[in-house]
Structure 1
Amino acid sequence: MNLDNRRVVLPPLDTEQDQLLAHALQIDGRAPFRRIAEVLGVSDQTVARRYSRLRSAGTLRVVGLTDPLRLGEVPWFVRVRCAPSAAGAIGEALARRPDTAWVSLTSGGTEIACLVRPRTTGGGDTLLLEKLPRTPQVAEVSGHCVLHVFFGQDLSLLTKSGPLTAAQVAALRPANAPDNLLSDPAPAYPLDEADHRLLDVLARDGRAAVGELAAATGRPPTTVRRRMAELREAGVLYFDVDFAPRVLQRNFRAALWLNVVPSDIEAVGGTLASHPEVSFAAATTGDFNVYASVTTPDAGAFYRYLTGPVAALPGILGTSTAPIHRAFKCAGPLERRDR
């Protein structure tokens, strides 16, 4: 993301080693570098040094995130149609908001799409109906409630396309992680102020040291470790890897909206979740009731995906696609870095 004029020198890309490290961190973002090194067959100094360089360059980082549905929040897809000259400023303003999870520029530079997580009931209405429509050069705002996530959360393209073997994945999988984080709306899991401070630090740096987390929460390190384990077991806290497209050598990204017959939504969502091109898939409200984020090596591969696997899906009444030109915000809070 280009949010200032600084130039960041990217470290030379070692595709195989960087993909191995990224996949290992996707399995367990807080795995000790020593354990990752043992699984990868390299030294722990090599793993720590490589992660530090990639993290500093904004190429790869671990973030600790929360499942909104397990916290009683109802996430929304918000689409903002605006004048091309205003898209950059509006996108950056949305990215700075604490209630946006990701913000992208699509559709020829005239539409901004973002995922909004209102902290309170009705919070989405404030953003949708009050603030954005009053912004100069905003032509239209629409919102779509996220009903169910088919693929996402702690799962990513690395889960499906990463180079680790099944044995390596098993060796890295944390013992306290639930089998399935994908959830439907449920009663809100209770959090106190110390929990929120803990989660705020992890959202900025998923590998923050226990001492830093203890200082932020006012809790002893042993309590911090136990609370993190409880939140992970409950499916509230999970760790994700925010990585630049160059890590997987997939440089074409697009939003895919599908109008699906209601009786086929579950089947379509489950099939999309298995596609190696899909990094996120969910059921939403609206005429286009299934959304997928698609990543391919180039536009030609995206065309073949649309005319092949997508065309074969059952119950499709219509499709809408839009290339993603720029990501203002990805996983976790906004970071000022050149991707």
Structure 2
Amino acid sequence: MGQTEDSLLDTAIIRTLQLDGRESILDLARALGVSRHVIAERLRMLTERDGLRVVAALDPGVAGHHVLTHSMVSVDGPVAPTAEEVARLPNAVFVSIASGERPLVFESRHSSSRELLETLESVRAIPGVREIRVTTYVDVLRGFFVAQSRNEISLDELDRELITALQSDGRASYRALAEVVHRSPSAVRSRVQRLITAGVIRIAAIKSGGLSSNRFATGLGIALAGRSDPVRKFILESESIEFAARSHGAYDFVATAVGPSSTEVLAAIEALRGLDEVATVETWTHFNLVKEDYTRAIGRV
């Protein structure tokens, strides 16, 4: 299998695991038309070389996080030291070094607007920070931590233990999970399926650390010139848009377009710009993911 074929297969594996992180190697092989050995080898490469992780993300509402924001920061001097400082903040779940005049991008979650203000005050106190542009998410349309639906259920200690274990390894076998929580594999399977079905957790693949040659990611800040429905429809149907949120503040939508090459990402951006309802699309390229961690929320359940 050539390098281009490997890249396309890796992209297909990641996209499949973003839909269902617990998809078996056999099912992946059948769906993608290759052998189990090839899937196992590509998964090993993606994990060891590219930092692919499959983990459980807790629904923000379950964790008491009702204010979700996207911030872009102007920085004097090198960006990396400031990004590392922001990454240490407990409310920051995503931190990236990007292109553009605001090269530090971070997402944060908060229990209230007051907690958001406290986080922004902490960021402004970091040496080198000149300006912060904040956009608040109103409705997350696509994303790693977004379930298809949410049902209210009560969580007990067993649920918490399973969530914690799955946040470390979302593909852990039911037998391995059973050993952690001292229950039978069948009881663990039932609990995990209950948590997933209720939308309490979503188990999916995320990339960590530096971006690889087969994952070109560009942030999008979309301003509307008309109704939002056609833009929402485009976002939900596009195979290139990995994350998107309806928002207010600097942008009407914030999204991330991802593909194995800049050509694929550019095609999605151009199609988006072609919509009559879109006024402008501001873009920034993600160069390095400093932090992508949605696991801290379990302590607040």
User: TM tier, shorter chain?
Assistant: 0.7 to 0.9
Task: Output the CA distance in 1 between the equivalents of 2:51 and 2:171.
Answer: 15
Unaligned runs of 5+ in 1: 1-10, 156-180, 335-339
Return closer, same or farther for 1:193/1:142 CA change in 2, 3 Å cut-off.
Answer: farther
Which residue of the partner structure matches residue 273 of structure 2?
Answer: 311
1:91 aligned to which of 83, 87, 109: 83
Task: Give the 5 Å matches for 1:22-37.
Answer: 22-37=14-29
Equivalent-residue separation in structure 2 for 1:223 and 1:59 (angstroms): 31
Name the residue aligned to 1:237: 201
Tell me whether 1:78 sits opposite 2:78 in the alignment: no
Q: Which has the higher strand share?
A: 2
Contact 2:69 2:109 in 1 (8 A): yes
- 54 and 199 in structure 1: CA distance in 2 versus 1, 3 angstrom threshold: same
Q: State the 1:22 CA deviation.
A: 3.2
Q: Deviation per CA, 1:90-122, whole angstroms, max 9, x where unpaired?
A: 222333445333211123475311221235674
> How many Å separate the matches in 2 of 1:217 and 1:121?
36
Q: Which residue of 1 aligns with 2:135?
A: 144
AA aligned opposite 1:145: T
Query: Partners of 2:260 and 2:34 in 1: how far apart?
Result: 29
TM-score (norm 2): 0.78
- Structure 1: which amino acid aligns with 2:201? L
Q: Provide the residue aligned with 1:284 in structure 2.
A: 247
Matched, 1:266 2:229: yes
Contact 1:64 1:199 in 2 (8 A): yes
Cα distance in 2, alignment partners of residues 301 and 102 from structure 1 = 24
Amino acid at match of 2:275: L
CA distance in 1, matches of 2:58, 2:258: 23
Q: How does 1:89-128 map to 2 (within 5 A)?
A: 89-108=81-100, 110-118=102-110, 122-128=114-120
State the one-letter code of the partner of 1:327: L
TM-superposed deviation, 1:191? 3.4
Q: Per-residue deviation at 1:147?
A: 0.8
After TM superposition, the structure 1 = structure 2 runs for residues 125-204 of structure 1, keeping only pairs within 5 Å, are 125-129=117-121, 131-153=122-144, 181-182=147-148, 190-204=154-168
Tell me how far 1:299 sits from its aligned partner.
Answer: 5.4
- Please, what is the CA RMSD of the aligned residues? 3.6
Q: Which amino acid aligns with 1:236?
A: V
Equivalent pair of 2:145/2:201 in contact (CA under 8 Å): no
Structure 1 residue 44: Cα displacement: 4.4
Q: Aligned in 2, Cα 1:40/1:325: closer, same or farther, shift over 3 Å?
A: closer
Amino acid at match of 2:97: L
Indicate yes or no: 2:280 matched with 1:323: no
Q: Percent identity?
A: 25
What is the aligned residue count? 291
Q: After superposing the two structures, state which structure 1 stretch, 206-215 or 321-330, moved more.
A: 206-215
Amino acid at match of 1:267: P
Distance (whole Å) between structure 2 residues aligned to residue 316 and residue 250 of structure 1: 26
1:225 aligned residue (189, 206, 210): 189
Residues 23-70 of structure 1: CA distance to partner in whole angstroms, max 9, x if unpaired?
443343213334444555655455444423431223433122123245
